[in-house]
Amino acid sequence: MKHRLGVLVLCAFFVVACDKGPPPPPVVVFATGEDGDALSLLLEDFTDDTGIPVAVEWGTSADNAHKLINKSGTPADVLITDNVADIWRAADRGALRPIVSEAFDLVHASLKDPDREWAAVDVRFLTISHAHDVRPLAIQLDDLGSPEFSGRVCLSSPDLSINRSLIAYLIDERGVKEAERLVRRWVKNLAVPPFFSEAELAAAIRSGKCDYGIVSWPNEFEDAIPFPTDRRYVDISAAGVGRHAESPEAAQKLVGWILNKRRMDFRGEPEPVFAGIAGWRDEDARLLAERAGYR
């Protein structure tokens, strides 16, 4: 009887051990290296909280969206882009599935897809920044195209999504012709050709090479002086769950967890313009920049 009881206890031990099973497969995340360190720490926290491992494939935002859309390489469970254009393109091409999470419902309407296929995990506001030795004026985007600002304006490259986002908003609000006229006036007022990066633009403002610049805030401009434009234009980093995710439940959990951690509150502030506009107008913005000589 004692021997039989020992066998039962041993069996029970193995049943419990077997119930634990093998560790869950990692959630495969396609992500960009622009926010690599911060994102890596965030994903480590997710694993610590949930026990679900995460495997990240780093690449450019555009390349990752292309791989997801074309189902090339490793299937992605989650796509995290550093701009709205790439996440919008992935959704438009049917590469994402609806996000099933209460956290999605708490995201501001301007920062998520009406069909639930993506939501912002970070936001960058477009503002005008000026050098410390420049008398601050209550200027707006149109003012930067006026004759009094000739040789005083700096811009970063239209290859940066933040700048194409702004042009996309202007196209949507003013129409192509009026938006192009304004961009041409900015180009005419440039002190130097557009900079490759916002870091270079920040350095030019600090050095006095130019008095004013259109920037994203917060970014490289801790010691410059920002002030809001007439509208709350934004670009976002965003997340979505892959249509062909191999670990869809874990992917949904990860996206919901990130949305909870990075929730943004705009109470008491002007609401941002709907970010999706910058996605579906992105190609129009690129073509306008070329025509206007903004390169």
CA distances from 144 to 25, 78, 168, 188, 203 (A): 53, 40, 18, 10, 19
Q: Tokens in use for 13?
A: 């031990």
- What's the pLDDT score for residue 19? 52
**Looking at residue 4, what is its pLDDT?**
36
User: What is the count of structural domains for the chain?
Assistant: 2
Has this prediction a pTM greater than 0.85? yes
Query: Can you give the pLDDT at residue 176?
Result: 98
Q: Give me the pLDDT at residue 16, please.
A: 44
76: containing domain:
25-123+235-268
Domain assignment present for residue 5? The answer is no
Q: Domain check: are 79 and 107 in the same one?
A: yes
Closest by CA to 162, choosing from 234, 248, 243, is 234
CA dist 213 and 167 (Å) reads: 15
Residue range 195-226, pLDDT digits in tens = 999 989 988 988 889 999 998 875 555 555 55
Instruction: Say whether both 118 and 141 belong to one domain.
Output: no
Do 104 and 197 fall within a single domain?
A: no
Pair (193, 282) in one structural domain: yes
Tens of pLDDT along 119-134?
999 998 888 888 877 6
Q: pLDDT category, 37, cuts 50, 70, 90? A: confident
The CATH number covering residue 210 comes to 3.40.190.10
Question: How wide is the angle at C-alpha 112 spanned by C-alphas 110 and 114, nearest 5°?
Answer: 95
**172 lies in the same domain as 97:** no
- Could you report the per-residue pLDDT of 184-201, keeping only the tens digit for each? 999 999 999 999 999 899
pLDDT at 168 over 50: yes
Query: Distance between CA atoms of 170 and 180, rounded to whole angstroms?
Result: 9
